[in-house]
Chains A and B, each alone.
Chain A
């Protein structure tokens, strides 16, 4: 059970991501943020919830839809906006952009724009932990499309074979860009397919942050008791287009859910409803939102003013 104080701290992290992405949506058409943005509105509860539960010393890996992961791990809106604006003060000095945010000092080792690509790398990081007889774990986030890549199965097989301390987190929005799962899968369900491997499985509603956290804790506890990889499968709804700041319900490949359903699928509203039910004053949530909003606004403005990398930076960081 997640207590009220903890739930409020989760709300704080969730709102920070939402407001950061809303700021991107507002600023994107000024054409100063020259990087493709894969926004995660609807998905944040998964990264925020899982990262909240990871023990300290954990490493994480992600995808191009990584804004929530970066902010959940670091809380660093300054670096985040600097990288999106292509500035020297970004974690990748502007060489990375939105799709490759990372923060190795905080454990976020790499994110990638090629589907499935960080999965084996996370397994390798887990192998390194096992090699050193350490107890740290590694979590890797990927979408349901990655499950169609051979490398996913190769990685799951190897991790299960070697009983590696790695947590696979599947963020399932039922879409690969615009293609529905029914057009892509020759099997009925991801959890059923994964059950064939020697790992611990958790399944949950990725729109519900508290449930994500509970599921994560349950699987982490199983991994501690009986060392094997963990696999978390969370469904969620992607509110926006695959890449870019707009909605695309008019594109014809999917229906817009009704207002009640939209509220259920929005992790922020979902958590707000739950917090209200538990007696949290809406003013308390309003205060959290105001603080996060100020922080995001400040970071975005600083990033806009910050300098770009000087020409000499073009050729640095290739070789150690």
Chain B
């Protein structure tokens, strides 16, 4: 057991970068805004002071070329961490990601090794609209050769990032913006291996398979449902690729009900992959078809009333559980749900 301390997700990510940069001189952090006074929601703050401008530096607004630069540095033996304040900007870099990063090892007959991490911020903010709100994890995971990580707890932000930096494959690491303020216990000596889901909460009524922020919403939903005796089990997928099917299948086989709550659009999304796993592998055990929750099938709107309808949330999950189990609707008046105006500090 190591030193456990309470810290925010932002500080956990920052600490992971510091520890890896201390441990390995080939690790460097670069990207737009990483070296400015805001430091990507504080997650890269202090790195310039500690490691110098050669190991933490900003770039021109050239996502495509800078992704190629990361790739070139990685095949030359360095371990770049390339940071984007919005995952949407990665669409400018898709050529390097989908045509180069994911293929060069295969086409070189295994001669090239590509140890690099692309960190990008996803999720809601203050009316972030249609071009600052995408998740894209399913799209990245679609390309063989890329690992994809969606951490939720501070411990996972810390442990999965350290594991991702040490991984010899390209890893896309997607952090929900609202997580930065969440606190939780972090054990500095604990890295979290890629490819293992976590059971966040045990229950017997229904399995909720969740990605990223949906875990936070699911925990809230579980708390409310528990008051009426409905105990849901929450599986935090944690890494989209490689996917830990066993934990999901084990849970669904126990509860015999499955709701997939993905932080993305439903159509052709990662949620379909999760639903397929549960349906195929638990077919004989399932009492109902797998239900899927996700974004509304529209570009993300800005105005809050419509944005609230766009994103799935704890109430959406509660209603889905009730429908699946044939229960009366819980009276949610008087319940307090997460909103950006009253950001909670955790613990997670």
Give Cα A203–Cα B75 distance, bound, in whole angstroms. Answer: 30
Which A-chain residue is minimally distant from B170 (CB atoms)? A320
Size bracket of the A interface: 35 or more
Contact at A158–B66, with CB atoms within 8 Å? yes
In the complex, whether A242 has a CB less than 8 A from a CB of chain B is: no
In the complex, whether B78 has a CB less than 8 A from a CB of chain A is: yes
Note all chain A residues with C-beta closer than 8 A to B75: 104, 109-110, 121, 124-125
In the complex, whether A253 has a CB less than 8 A from a CB of chain B is: no
Contact at A96–B65, with CB atoms within 8 Å? no
Contact at B109–A151, with CB atoms within 8 Å? no
Q: Which of B67, B73, B95, B99 has the most CB of A within 10 A?
A: B73
In the complex, whether A286 has a CB less than 8 A from a CB of chain B is: no
Q: Which of B59, B77, B100 contacts A112 (CB 8 A)?
A: B100
In the complex, whether B108 has a CB less than 8 A from a CB of chain A is: yes
Q: Which of A95, A117, A124, A318 contacts B70 (CB 8 A)?
A: A124
Q: Which of B71, B111, B144 contacts A105 (CB 8 A)?
A: B111
Note all chain B residues with C-beta closer than 8 A to A150: 64
Note all chain B residues with C-beta closer than 8 A to A119: 65, 68
Give Cα A317–Cα B95 distance, bound, in whole angstroms. Answer: 21
**A-side interface mostly:** helix
Contact at B110–A316, with CB atoms within 8 Å? yes
Give Cα A114–Cα B96 distance, bound, in whole angstroms. Answer: 10
Question: Would you list which residues of chain A between 187 and 231 have a CB under 8 Å from chain B?
Answer: none
In the complex, whether B106 has a CB less than 8 A from a CB of chain A is: yes
Note all chain B residues with C-beta closer than 8 A to A276: none
Contact at B100–A122, with CB atoms within 8 Å? no
In the complex, whether B123 has a CB less than 8 A from a CB of chain A is: no
Q: Which of A59, A102, A114, A316 contacts B76 (CB 8 A)?
A: A59
Interface-forming stretch among A4-12, A35-43, A126-134?
A126-134
Which B-chain residue is minimally distant from A123 (CB atoms)? B69
Note all chain A residues with C-beta closer than 8 A to B70: 124
Note all chain B residues with C-beta closer than 8 A to A127: 69, 72-73
Question: What 0/1 pattern do residues 89 to 117 of B give for CB contact below 8 A with A?
Answer: 00000011001100011111111111100
In the complex, whether A165 has a CB less than 8 A from a CB of chain B is: no
Contact at B109–A317, with CB atoms within 8 Å? yes
Question: What 0/1 pattern do residues 13 to 49 of B give for CB contact below 8 A with A?
Answer: 0000000000000001000000000000000000000
Which A-chain residue is minimally distant from B74 (CB atoms)? A124
Rounded to whole Å, the gap between the CB of B90 and the closest CB of chain A is 15
Q: Given A92-B108, A154-B65: A318 and B145 within 8 A (CB)? A: yes
Note all chain B residues with C-beta closer than 8 A to A120: 64-69, 71-72, 96
Give Cα A108–Cα B75 distance, bound, in whole angstroms. Answer: 12
In the complex, whether B54 has a CB less than 8 A from a CB of chain A is: yes
In the complex, whether B169 has a CB less than 8 A from a CB of chain A is: yes
Note all chain A residues with C-beta closer than 8 A to B60: 154, 157-158, 161
Question: What 0/1 pattern do residues 125 to 165 of A give for CB contact below 8 A with B?
Answer: 11111010000000000000000001100110110010000
Which A-chain residue is minimally distant from B103 (CB atoms)? A100
Q: Which of A151, A158, A319 contacts B169 (CB 8 A)?
A: A319
Contact at B96–A96, with CB atoms within 8 Å? no
Give Cα A96–Cα B105 distance, bound, in whole angstroms. Answer: 10
Q: Which of A157, A316, A320 contacts B62 (CB 8 A)?
A: A157
Q: Given A117-B99, A316-B110: A125 and B169 within 8 A (CB)? A: no
Question: Would you list which residues of chain A between 33 and 79 have a CB under 8 Å from chain B?
Answer: 59
Give Cα A269–Cα B30 distance, bound, in whole angstroms. Answer: 49
Q: Given A129-B76, A155-B65: A124 and B105 within 8 A (CB)? A: no
In the complex, whether A91 has a CB less than 8 A from a CB of chain B is: yes
Q: Which of A100, A124, A157 contacts B72 (CB 8 A)?
A: A124
Note all chain B residues with C-beta closer than 8 A to A155: 62, 65, 68-69
Contact at B65–A158, with CB atoms within 8 Å? yes
Note all chain B residues with C-beta closer than 8 A to A264: none
In the complex, whether B329 has a CB less than 8 A from a CB of chain A is: no
In the complex, whether A93 has a CB less than 8 A from a CB of chain B is: yes
Contact at B72–A92, with CB atoms within 8 Å? no
Note all chain B residues with C-beta closer than 8 A to A114: 95, 99-100
Note all chain A residues with C-beta closer than 8 A to B168: 320
Contact at B59–A158, with CB atoms within 8 Å? yes
Note all chain A residues with C-beta closer than 8 A to B72: 109, 120-128
Give Cα A316–Cα B67 distance, bound, in whole angstroms. Answer: 25
Which B-chain residue is minimally distant from A91 (CB atoms)? B109
Which B-chain residue is minimally distant from A93 (CB atoms)? B109
Q: Which of B59, B80, B110 has the most CB of A within 10 A?
A: B110
Contact at B64–A110, with CB atoms within 8 Å? no
Question: Would you list which residues of chain A between 282 and 320 have a CB under 8 Å from chain B?
Answer: 316-320
Give Cα A122–Cα B70 distance, bound, in whole angstroms. Answer: 10
Give Cα A105–Cα B112 distance, bound, in whole angstroms. Answer: 10
Contact at A121–B106, with CB atoms within 8 Å? no
Contact at A128–B77, with CB atoms within 8 Å? yes
Which B-chain residue is minimally distant from A109 (CB atoms)? B75
Q: Which of B69, B95, B108 contacts A110 (CB 8 A)?
A: B108
Rounded to whole Å, the gap between the CB of B102 and the closest CB of chain A is 9
Give Cα A125–Cα B114 distance, bound, in whole angstroms. Answer: 12
Q: Which of A90, A110, A316 has the most CB of B within 10 A?
A: A110
5 nearest interchain CB pairs?
Answer: A124-B72, A120-B68, A154-B65, A128-B76, A154-B62
Given A105-B111, A125-B73, A316-B110, 10 other A-B residues pairs in contact with their CB atoms under 8 A: A59-B76, A104-B108, A110-B107, A114-B99, A117-B95, A120-B96, A126-B72, A157-B60, A161-B60, A318-B106
**Which residues of A pack against B, CB within 8 Å?**
59, 90-93, 95-96, 100, 102, 104-105, 109-110, 112, 114, 117-129, 131, 150-151, 154-155, 157-158, 161, 316-320
- 21 contacts across the A-B interface (CB closer than 8 A): A92-B109, A95-B107, A109-B72, A110-B107, A117-B96, A118-B68, A120-B65, A121-B69, A124-B71, A125-B75, A127-B69, A128-B72, A128-B73, A128-B76, A155-B65, A155-B69, A318-B144, A318-B145, A320-B113, A320-B115, A320-B167
